């Protein structure tokens, strides 16, 4: 199957939510993915305009978890701004995964279960 035959999966979420790790796991399983840096865009629907994913995965992580995972030196206001910028994508996501209580393997398993059930 070539790239054009596979659905494009977009992955969004705040910094430290596990986007890069999930994409790496999904791609290793043969899925075509795009990291969408929606959390850095002032355009609410940028994820739709630029990437045009067939499916959208939203990874949620709390301020505390994001900060711990990435050793971020940011303020709560920075996280809140990312959350605001991600609101449109969150409203239109196909699956939302709260990554706070999960290992990277568990996040991947939830995403794979969803993708297999919705293929």
For 66-117, what is each residue's pLDDT tens digit? 998 877 788 999 999 999 999 999 999 999 999 999 999 999 999 999 999 9
- Look up residue 87 and give its two tokens: 């609101």
- Tell me which residue of 7, 10, 65 sits closest to 38, measured CA to CA: 10
CA separation (Å) from 102 to 17, 59, 63?
A: 11, 11, 15
Placement of tokens 């990554």 in the chain: 99
CA–CA dist 74, 47 (Å, integer): 24
- pLDDT tens digits along 2-41: 557 899 999 999 999 999 999 999 999 999 999 998 888 8
pLDDT of residue 2: 54
């Amino acid at each position: 199957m070539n790239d054009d035959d596979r659905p494009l999966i977009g992955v969004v979420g705040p910094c430290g939510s596990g986007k890069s790790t999930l994409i790496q796991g999904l791609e290793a399983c043969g899925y075509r993915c795009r990291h969408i840096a929606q959390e850095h865009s002032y355009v609410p629907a940028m994820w739709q305009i630029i990437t045009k994913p067939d499916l959208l995965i939203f990874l949620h992580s709390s301020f505390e978890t994001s900060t711990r995972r990435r050793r971020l030196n940011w303020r709560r206001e920075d996280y809140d701004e990312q959350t605001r910028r991600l609101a449109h994508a969150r409203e239109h996501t196909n699956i939302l995964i709260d990554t706070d209580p999960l290992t990277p393997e568990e996040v991947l398993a939830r995403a794979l279960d969803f993708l297999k059930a919705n293929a």
